[in-house]
Amino acid sequence: MKPSSSTLVSVVIPAYNGQETIHRAINSVLQQTYRNHEIIVVDDGSTDSTLHVLNSLGSQITLISQRNAGATSARNIGAEHANVAYIAFLDQDDWWTPKKLEIQVRALEADPSLGLVFGNLEAVERQEKSLRFMTIFPEHRHSPSLDDLLLLFPLYPSSATLRKDLFDTTGGFDTRFGSSGAYGDQDFHIRLRQLASFRFLDLRVGYYFWDELRPGRFHNFLVNLPIFAQKYWNSPLLVDSRGRFMRERFMRTCTNSMMYMLRRLLQHNGNIADSKLLFQANMYNLQLKEVFGASYLTMELMDSLNLKSMYEGKDVLKVQLSTLLYLYLCRRDLQRRFPEVFQGNLTRLADWAFGVARGVRLDKDYTTLAPFREYYETLTHDVPLIAISARRNSYLIGKGIQVFYRIMGPIDRMYPDGTLSGRLRRVATASLQTITEEGFRSFMAKVKQTLKQREFVQ
């Protein structure tokens, strides 16, 4: 079924300081095999030469300028100027394959019940070199339910085409999110999915600029996460009779997202956290605690730190201690093992850190803690170390652990977090850590307990 010749698609591109990439994005639209489209570019107060690039395109685009208000506002403004059947959003640093619009318009016209059709995007770096993975991993390559979207299903605006009348019904993007990719996309897609079903077409429809280290990215996600959590925690979507376990899964997903972003922020900072970074991490944790209330403590067994009790009149904490406490906020296992840290008792946590830094405890944060070995030793000088068996305390095992982490460094880069292989790598590392520290029988007992919990939740 060919798309109707009268069907017009508005391609809305928000632009902000995109002088290096905006022309590529627009060219990918001009090269579409589906020709009945218009291009609306909303310049969101660019301070570089983006406007000069856009003005050079003349009548090929409709250009709208506004003061800087964020991508959510820019998308809404562009959509308001579109009097068409369908809208397709395209980020300024992404670009499409030539048949993207043709394929998706055909699918929408063939099934009036569909509100949105989307495909997959190939991840690329700044020089257009492929990163050899797709933005939607195999386990998510299906048409999402409303529950899937509540649990942060990875649907990217640049991959989709949707009906304009449904966009108007939703009211567009929530401008409280500012940068729509930071949970604003999820919020919009949840509201749209309540009106109509979505369809995933397992095809590459474009290329996505994948850069987790772009300035402000982690900050945007961490600031917007409590907004997203607050918006849906007490909504009918999670509070109805079937939503008990969904509420637990929703809270766990939000908490995991926070800890993942905090971890990536630490890596971006050279695996060193100063007092300012620690206070920010504690603030984000406190905000989720305020959203989820008592459930955060009883189900997640997490809390914010009482940092005042650790300052003792000092202006700043030493970076060695700040880094250790930052790791504590990033790791659910440490919070469950050392709950007394919330009240300022650091004895056992420091003892654990010293064991890891010495190389006698296998742990994924060895490389982060090892440079601070002498400091953690001073924290535990008047307290005997937790008993460590001769097997783990031996020189050869300690050296073996250090070699293991030298090997794991390149492996971590080859199999990044977020990919399926990255998840398998993390499972293997965690399993080896548990077996080394607690023995095989304890490891198997934990596996059985985890499987039982998963069966209960699902």
Domain map (residue ranges) of the chain? 9-209, 217-457
DSSP 357: H
Locate 264 and state its tokens: 């990536």
Q: Distance between CA 93 and CA 304 in Å, rounded?
A: 37
- pLDDT for 384: 39
Locate 113 and state its tokens: 């019940």
- pLDDT for 343: 75
What percentage of the chain carries pLDDT values higher than 70?
78
Average pLDDT over residues 162-185: 91
Average pLDDT over residues 229-247: 83
The residue with greater pLDDT, 76 or 304, is: 76
Residues forming beta bridges with residue 209, ordered by sequence position? 124
What confidence category does residue 180 fall into, taking pLDDT thresholds of 50, 70 and 90?
low
Residue ranges with strand state E in 217-285:
none
| 259 pLDDT more than 80 | yes
Average pLDDT over residues 323-343: 89
φ/ψ region of 198 (left if φ > 0, alpha if ψ in -120 to 50, else beta) reads beta
From the CA atom positions of the chain, what is the Rg in Å?
25
For 201, list phi and psi in degrees, rounded to 5: -105, 115
What confidence category does residue 142 fall into, taking pLDDT thresholds of 50, 70 and 90?
very high
φ/ψ region of 210 (left if φ > 0, alpha if ψ in -120 to 50, else beta) reads beta
Mean pLDDT, the chain, rounded, equals 84
The amino acid present at 410, given as its one-letter code, is P
For 182, list phi and psi in degrees, rounded to 5: -90, 75
Q: Which of 302-306, 430-434, 437-441 shows the highest mean pLDDT?
A: 302-306
Average pLDDT over residues 300-311: 73
The residue with greater pLDDT, 177 or 211, is: 177
Q: 174 with 90: CB under 8 angstroms? A: no
What confidence category does residue 396 fall into, taking pLDDT thresholds of 50, 70 and 90?
very low
- pLDDT for 457: 36
- Which range among 61-75, 189-203, 325-339, 379-393 shows the weakest confidence by mean pLDDT? 379-393
Q: Distance between CA 72 and CA 191 in Å, rounded?
A: 15
The residue with greater pLDDT, 267 or 436, is: 267
Residue ranges with strand state E in 76-156:
86-89, 95-96, 114-124, 130-134
- pLDDT for 78: 96
Q: 182 with 223: CB under 8 angstroms? A: yes
Q: Distance between CA 29 and CA 99 in Å, rounded?
A: 10
Average pLDDT over residues 190-196: 97
Instruction: State how beta strands 130-134 and 114-124 pair.
Output: antiparallel
Locate 320 and state its tokens: 């060695």
- This prediction's pTM: 0.81
Question: What is the homologous superfamily of the domain 9-209 according to CATH?
Answer: Spore Coat Polysaccharide Biosynthesis Protein SpsA; Chain A (3.90.550.10)
Q: Distance between CA 36 and CA 4 in Å, rounded?
A: 9
Report how far apart, in Å, the C-alpha atoms of 356 and of each of 324, 352, 382, 437 are.
11, 6, 18, 11
The amino acid present at 284, given as its one-letter code, is Y
- Which range among 272-276, 303-307, 357-361 shows the weakest confidence by mean pLDDT? 303-307
